[in-house]
Amino acid sequence: GLCPTHKNPPQSPFYKGGSNVGSPLLKRGVGAKSPEGASPLFGGDFIKQRVSYFNSLNALKQFLRLYAGEPIRIEAYDISNIHGVWATGSMIVFYGDKAQKSDYRRFKIKTVAGANDVAMIKEVLCRRFGHPEWPYPDLILIDGGKAQLAAGNLEIKKLGNFIPAVALAKREEKIYTEYGGKSLKLSALPSSLGLIFQAIRNEAHRFAIFYYRHLHEKTLKLKRKK
């Protein structure tokens, strides 16, 4: 199908160099004691909350690596459409602060009707992870807010590993992490780091708009011929 189940995908490069920060939480499982030793965890909500917390820490760890000048692989995703028409998605790639245009990919939305950016992000990430031959990222940056981030994380978690993801809202200039929908003002980051995230976000938007306009013009030309 369009979004096949991902079987035994390669691990993100982030996890090749060390242990997964979140893995001990999963190993403890249902029935494990809380940090205070007060009661067993019979439900999954508390485990999910702690996993999302450590996934957010993983994202912040990537921020620090980027700030230190390490060339981590960042994939950024953006959606472009007008009322759901000629909807497109873009994937751009940066290694550190350098764009890797040979790794850029574009997606014509196929399964979503109408203006639904959340569902479109989910489709784009589903299709992206259908290509395990493409190197997996250390960090994913999604254009949008809490809803877009939640949709993206649904696809990321199907992989069986934990690639950290954050969402960057254009108007608010805030970065959202997975844990509790917490946000961080872009201006609160070191200026060099904030500028990198802005550059990546703007490039993803530029690339998505470029493909959208291409499809729009192509459609108009076909109509004129008729």
- Which residues fall within 8 angstroms of residue 114, CB to CB, at 6 or more apart? 83, 84
pLDDT tens for each residue of 104-151: 999 988 999 888 999 999 999 999 999 999 999 999 999 999 999 999
Residue range 18-23: mean pLDDT, rounded: 34
H or E, element range at 90 = strand 85-95
Tens-digit pLDDT profile for residues 175-188: 998 765 678 888 88
Neighbours of 33 (CB within 10 A): 11
Three-state DSSP at 214 gives helix
Over residues 66-95, the pLDDT tens digits come to 888 888 999 999 998 776 677 889 999 999
Q: Which amino acid is present at 197?
A: F
Please tell me the pTM assigned to this model.
0.74
Domains, the chain, ordered by start: 71-225 (3.30.420.340)
In whole angstroms, give the CA distance from residue 143 to residue 169. 6
- Other beta carbons less than 10 A from residue 68's beta carbon: 9
Q: Give the distance between the most distant pair of CA atoms in the chain.
A: 73
